[in-house]
Each structure stands twice: as C-alpha cells, then as structure tokens.
Amino acid sequence: MKIRTRAKLGTSMLIVAALAAAGGAQASAGTSLPRIGTRHVILDFHPHHQTLGAVPAATGTTSVKRFSRTVTDGTSTFHIQMVGRNPFVAQTTQTTTIKTFLVPVRVILPNNDTFDPTVATSCDTGATPVTRSVQSPVFTSRAYTIGGTAVGTGQYTDIFRRAEFFAFTKPGGINPGYHTKLNVTTLARQTVHVPAGSAGEIGASACGEKTGAMDINFWDNLVVGTLLPALRAQGVTETTVPIFLFHNVVMFDGTPGNCCILGYHSLTQTAAGRQTYGNADYETSGNFGATVRDVSTLSHEVAEWLDDPFTNNPTRPWGHIGQVSGCQNNLEVGDPLSGTNVTVSTIGHTYHPQELACFSWFYHSSPSLGVNGLFSNNGTFKTSAAPCTG
C-alpha cells in the first residue's frame, strides 16, 4: 500500500486486513456506501511503513524533545533518534515531559452515520471514548511489575521505555529516575464530513455498533493541510504531539478493499522543523475481535512515536511475525506484536494496551538491556529478532 496523494517523510501504520463484501452496500438516509463485510475481516495485521517521496529539508530544526545515538548491531551501524533523554548517558535531569494534545474527531459519513468519541457508546457504557482514553494507562500513571520486578510508577509507554532500558533505569543504574511522560490536554472536538468517494462502512456488530471507514489519503491531506495549521492557535507546535482520536473509525488506502488501517503516526515538515502527530481508533464495536480493543491501537502508535518519532530509525531486517508478513528494517516497536495485548486497570476500568518489542529485540543486545533480560515488555519475546531474508 502507498499514500499516493501527498509526498512526505514517512508514516507507520497499524493495519487489520479486510476484503470488501462482493455486491454489498450499507444504505442509510438515501445514500449507499461501499460495505466492508464483517465476515471477510481477517484478524491479522499487515505492514505499512515506507518513505513516501522526497520532501524539502526544513529551514528549522525544532521538533519534539529527542536524543540521537549511534547503534552497532553486528557489523552494521545505525543512527537513530528517540523521544526523551538519552538513557545510555547519566542525566542530571532524568524526566522528560511532552505536551500532548488529544483531538477528538467526529466523523460523519455521506449516509449521515456519525461516529463521535465525545458520546458514550452502547458497547461500553459509563464513559465516552475520550474520557476512557484520558483515564487509560496511556495517560494515567500506576505502578508496574514485570516478571516480579518493580519497574516503577508511570504511564504505559513511559514504563515501556524504562523497561526496555532497565539496565540504566533500574535502582542503582545511571538513570534510576528516568521517565518520558505525556502531559495530555483534550482539545475541542473536530468534525469531518467524509465525501462519498472516500467513505465505507462495516455493518453493526453483535452489540449494535457499526465501524466507519474513510480513505487515508483524504484524511491525511486534511490533517496536514487544514487541521494542524488551525490547531497552532491552540498550542499545537513542533515541540508537542497531537493525537487525533476516533471512535470505531478505521481507514482504507484508495479503495475499501484495502482496509483496515487502525492508526498511524507520522510527521510533516514546517518552516520551523518537523511536526509529529498520531491517529488512533478507540475500538468498542467488537468488529475486529479480541485483537483490537479500546486503547490497543493508541498504545501501539504512541509507543512507536516514542521510539521512532520520524518513522525512519533503521534496523537489520526482521519479519514474519506480528503484523509483518515479509521483512521490515525499522524500529517500529508495535508491529512485531500487533494483536498481542495485555490487561491493565486504571481508574476502575480494565484496558487492553498492546505488548511492545524492546530496543534489544531489534538491535540484538546481548544480554538484553531490558528488565529481567526480556525482549518485550510482557515477556513474550525472550530472544532477539531472527534474521529476515524475504
């Protein structure tokens, strides 16, 4: 798949594949939409990460707080950038706080079916998807123990960062107070009317909720050309990260048959530097089964932004695992474990963030720099990535 309508540095996506139901249509209010049949949803993930054409170099270098490091893996040497402070070097100030804006997006399809994350849902009563997201482990701190070892108190991706570099962040390490925190503010809801040629829909699930779909080319051009410039007046700048939140809305690439993209993180060049941003579906419909639930997509994208903010940190080839059917050569920490979730409770509700692959899994650290010598933050990976040749 490829985003064809606008060249930019790169993008990384979490995808569930689905096939359009032959001859099917979802009609409402006199407008028919291409229908993506739930029986044709493949409960699997497929890779989407590539450079999308050349872009002019930014005239400025401003962006999210990050560090650079050269990594040696066997005979290969890689230059990478990650959000936060460098855990490999003793830091006087060990905590980084990134201003984060959660932007709810109400999506209205041509048949007037509306998907609004600021409205409580029939499949998850008690709170709106926005409230659930803000109260989730992605933004709410709690204590974590991995394999019997206390890793610290923090947000889910903050603890992941501590866990993947525990050789340095543990008590007695050079950076025991290391944290990379998200300071979240929820902005006003944005409303998007999806044109007929860019819309699709999955029928109602067992609990009665549909899933909307829109063309990622339509959406991403709207983000970069309209939404991000408009949000600057509310404080969204290159040093912050905006996250656009949907409820039961996925994306397809060009045609509803190329579905379904659940979220992605990316960036755009500005005169000042690089603006990173993310998108995620808060999923309650159940149309994708247990592999996609509540904040599994949000945790996937935030963690990948954390470790690969510019979507171009190189690695040796790895693959045939998680959502990757071939080989990839990038530091996308969610992709190898897409569909593998963990259970975490915060503020009286149980969530399902995704398990994540650690730095040492990609770069073959021996022993692992991770907590208890693990290579993923819930222990599924106990060795580093296998070589991939095709």
- List CB contacts of 332: < 8 A, sequence separation 6 or more: 12, 49, 304, 308, 311
In a domain, 386, yes or no: no
Provide the pLDDT for residue 258: 85
- pLDDT tens string, the chain, 390 residues long: the values are 222 223 333 577 776 654 333 233 333 445 677 777 543 333 333 333 333 333 455 567 899 999 999 999 999 999 999 999 999 999 999 999 999 999 999 999 999 999 999 999 889 989 999 999 999 999 999 999 999 999 999 999 999 999 999 999 999 999 999 999 999 999 999 999 999 999 999 998 888 999 999 999 999 999 999 999 999 999 999 999 999 999 999 999 898 888 889 999 999 999 999 999 999 999 999 998 888 999 999 999 999 999 999 999 999 999 999 989 899 999 999 999 999 999 999 999 999 999 999 999 999 999 999 999 999 999 999 999 999 987
Residue environment code for 32-58, b if the CB has 16+ CB neighbours within 10 A, otherwise e: ebbbbebebbeeebbbbbbebeebeeb
Question: For 184-340, where are the alpha helices, taking DSSP H only?
Answer: 216-222, 228-231, 296-307
Contact 157, 299 (CB under 8 A): yes
In a domain, 325, yes or no: yes
Measure CA 44 to chain center: 16
Stated pTM of the model: 0.91
Q: Which amino acid is at 112?
A: N
CB-CB neighbours of 347 under 10 Å: 14
Alpha carbons 314 and 375: distance in angstroms, whole number: 18
In a domain, 384, yes or no: no
Gyration radius of the chain's alpha carbons = 20
Sign of the C-alpha dihedral computed for residues 45, 51, 56 and 61 taken in this order = positive
Contact 36, 212 (CB under 8 A): no
Among 220, 215, 223, smallest CA distance to 194 is for 215
In a domain, 390, yes or no: no
Collapse the DSSP code of 315 into the 3-class scheme (helix H, G, I; strand E, B; otherwise coil) and give the result. Answer: strand
Contact 224, 187 (CB under 8 A): no
**Residue 254, CA distances (Å) to 67, 194, 216, 261, 321 in order:** 36, 14, 7, 12, 26
In a domain, 2, yes or no: no
Provide the pLDDT for residue 10: 55
In a domain, 1, yes or no: no
In a domain, 265, yes or no: yes
Alpha carbons 361 and 358: distance in angstroms, whole number: 5
Q: Which two tokens stand for residue 205?
A: 């699930």
Provide the pLDDT for residue 35: 75
In a domain, 385, yes or no: no
Domain housing 276? 8-373
Q: How many structural domains is the chain composed of?
A: 1
Collapse the DSSP code of 257 into the 3-class scheme (helix H, G, I; strand E, B; otherwise coil) and give the result. Answer: coil
Question: For the chain, where are the alpha helices, taking DSSP H only?
Answer: 129-134, 156-164, 166-169, 216-222, 228-231, 296-307, 359-363
- List CB contacts of 204: < 8 A, sequence separation 6 or more: 210
Alpha carbons 236 and 283: distance in angstroms, whole number: 25
Residue environment code for 289-303, b if the CB has 16+ CB neighbours within 10 A, otherwise e: eebbbbbbbbbbbbb
- Quickly tell me which residue has 């450079």 as its tokens: 51
Q: Which amino acid is at 94?
A: Q
